[in-house]
Each structure stands twice: as C-alpha cells, then as structure tokens.
C-alpha cells in the first residue's frame, strides 16, 4: 500500500471512529509500527490528526484536503498523475470489450491510456471520441473505424466540443468509458467544464453500458460541473487506494464498484 493510500485510510478511520490505534493500523495495513508512526506524524504535521498515546484522533479544526472546485488542472499535468493506477484500471476495463464492438472514449487522461490498451488488444473496433489525441493514437490501427464527434477544438484539452453535435443522437454505442474529475456519493460524478460534461451525457444516453474509469484520488472530491448521479452509470472501476469506508458509501449510493489490485 502506497503512502497516499495509507493516509486516506487512516483519515477515513479516524473520522469514522473518532480515534485510530497504532496496533490496529499495523494489522490492517500490513506495515511496521514505525511506518504507522511516521504516517501519523506526517498527518499531524499537515493538521489532519492529533497524536495521542497509542494512536491519533482527528484534529479539532482539520479540513479535508481537496482540489479546489473550479480550479482547472491541465491535460498535460493529468497525463503525468497516478499512471500506475490508471494502467491497472484500463487493463481490467479492456477485458470487458469484445472484438467488433462500438466503444466511446471521452477526452480524459485515463481515456488516452485506455486507447493505448485497446490498440494493443484488438483488431476490429469502432471508436467514437471527441479527443483529437485519442483519434491520432488509434489512427495507426488499420481495421479500427474512428468517428470524431466534431465541434470546436479546445486547445487545452485537444478535444472537440460544441452545442451542435446531433450526430450522437443517431448512433448506438455498446460501451462508453467515461472519465471524471470527482466521484462523491452525495454529489455524484463531476467534471471541470460545461461543454465536455454535456458531450459526456450525450454519449451516455447513446450507450447501452456506461463504465466510469476513476483512480482512487478522484473519490470524495467534486468539481464545478455535475455530469450525473452515481446510479445513472452502470459500473465504476477504480484502484485499491480507495478506502473501505468510501467504497461502501459508493455502493450504497447505487453504483456497482469494481476495485482492481
């Protein structure tokens, strides 16, 4: 278990139970007591916990660390973040695709990793996307049919978006793999921009199955624009960094959750 995953689990347990015990954390996380002490010291330094004898309690004025709503994170930056987790997620997700199907990919950084995986695994697919970069990746597959949605080019996202994409109303999609900026049990699925969120919903309405690809850093966070509720998608795939508390909350909100190692 990586350090950020341990921090998330420790904070979830502390906020749920009001206290965490060092001995319990050693057993739960499979690490040494020294590692747990360092983790608690780090979280205390960040103002998230206060250490007590044998463990720690939530800091009285601690605020959960979240990405500020409305703060845009560039595609270039996102393409460098959580790559190991994204690789595990798309490896599982690609196993759900069958040769010859119609697959839709949005503009997200995880979608680009998914495009590379599809390129390696399949010979015949139809791929619908609003991402110029994904279209270029898949253009090297001679038997792939690639459909770009059309629209106005976002230079930041290398993606097409507009209010005039009626083409999607005429298409059937077997599986939409959707990426998001935030997954919250109460708020739902959120993203950074209005135009892309509208296109994601158009794709979702045309798809027989919608699968969300979201690494564990996205959970418990929300961005400016709401896409839909968790119950409006079929499956969410994430990595093992998600805490048990958060996973249970996601499932109780009505969504199938798949956690990959």
Q: Write b or e for each residue in 210-232: b if 16 or more Cβ atoms lie within 10 A of its Cβ, otherwise e.
A: bbbbbbbbbbbbbbbbbbbebee
Confirm if 146 and 138 have CB atoms less than 8 A apart: yes
pLDDT-based confidence at residue 242 (cuts at 50, 70, 90): very high
What's the pLDDT score for residue 4?
A: 77
Residue-wise pLDDT tens digits, 7-46: 888 988 887 778 899 999 999 899 999 999 999 999 988 8
Residue-wise pLDDT tens digits, 45-74: 888 888 888 899 888 644 444 444 445 666
Residue-wise pLDDT tens digits, 149-173: 888 888 878 888 765 567 788 899 9
pLDDT-based confidence at residue 89 (cuts at 50, 70, 90): very high
What's the pLDDT score for residue 69?
A: 47
Beta strand segments in the chain, E? 20-21, 49-52, 55-58, 102-105, 126-129, 145-148, 152-154, 159-161, 173-179, 182-184, 188-191, 207-213, 225-228, 235-239, 256-260
pLDDT-based confidence at residue 102 (cuts at 50, 70, 90): very high
Mean pLDDT of the chain: 88
What's the pLDDT score for residue 258?
A: 98
Residue among 125, 131, 160 nearest 145 (CA): 125
Q: How many angstroms separate the Cα of 144 from the Cα of each of 123, 137, 166, 170, 220?
A: 7, 11, 23, 20, 37
What's the pLDDT score for residue 5?
A: 78
Distance of CA 39 to the CA centre of its chain: 25
Confirm if 190 and 223 have CB atoms less than 8 A apart: yes
Name 202's Cβ contacts closer than 8 Å, sequence gap at least 6: 165, 168, 169
Owner of token pair 């495009």: 115
What's the pLDDT score for residue 153?
A: 82
Percent share of the chain, pLDDT over 70: 90
- Give the sign of the dihedral formed by CA 50, CA 51, CA 52, CA 58: positive
What's the pLDDT score for residue 63?
A: 46
What is the average pLDDT across 253-258? 93
pTM, whole model, 2 decimals? 0.70
């Amino acid at each position: 278990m990586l350090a950020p995953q341990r921090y998330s689990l420790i904070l979830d347990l502390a906020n749920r139970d009001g206290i965490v015990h060092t001995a319990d954390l050693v057993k739960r996380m499979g690490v040494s007591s020294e590692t747990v002490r360092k983790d608690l010291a780090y979280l205390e330094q960040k103002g998230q916990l206060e250490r007590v004898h044998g463990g720690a309690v939530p800091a009285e004025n601690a605020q959960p660390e979240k990405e500020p709503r409305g703060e845009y994170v560039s595609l270039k930056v996102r393409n460098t973040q959580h790559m190991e987790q994204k690789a595990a997620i798309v490896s599982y997700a690609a196993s759900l695709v069958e040769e010859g199907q119609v697959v839709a990919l949005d503009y997200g950084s995880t979608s680009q990793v998914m495009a590379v995986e599809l390129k390696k695994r399949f010979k015949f697919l139809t791929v619908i996307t609003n991402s110029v970069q994904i279209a270029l990746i898949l253009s090297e597959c001679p038997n792939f049919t690639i459909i770009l949605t059309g629209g106005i080019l976002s230079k930041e996202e290398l993606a097409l978006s507009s209010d005039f994409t009626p083409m999607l109303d005429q298409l059937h999609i077997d599986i939409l793999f959707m990426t998001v900026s935030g997954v919250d049990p109460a708020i739902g699925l959120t993203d950074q921009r209005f135009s892309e969120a509208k296109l994601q919903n158009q794709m979702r309405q045309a798809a027989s199955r919608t699968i969300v690809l979201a690494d564990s850093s996205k959970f418990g966070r929300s961005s400016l624009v709401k896409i839909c509720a968790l119950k409006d998608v079929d499956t969410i795939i994430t990595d093992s960094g998600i805490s048990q508390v958060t996973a249970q909350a996601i499932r109780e909100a009505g969504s199938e959750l798949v956690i990959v190692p």
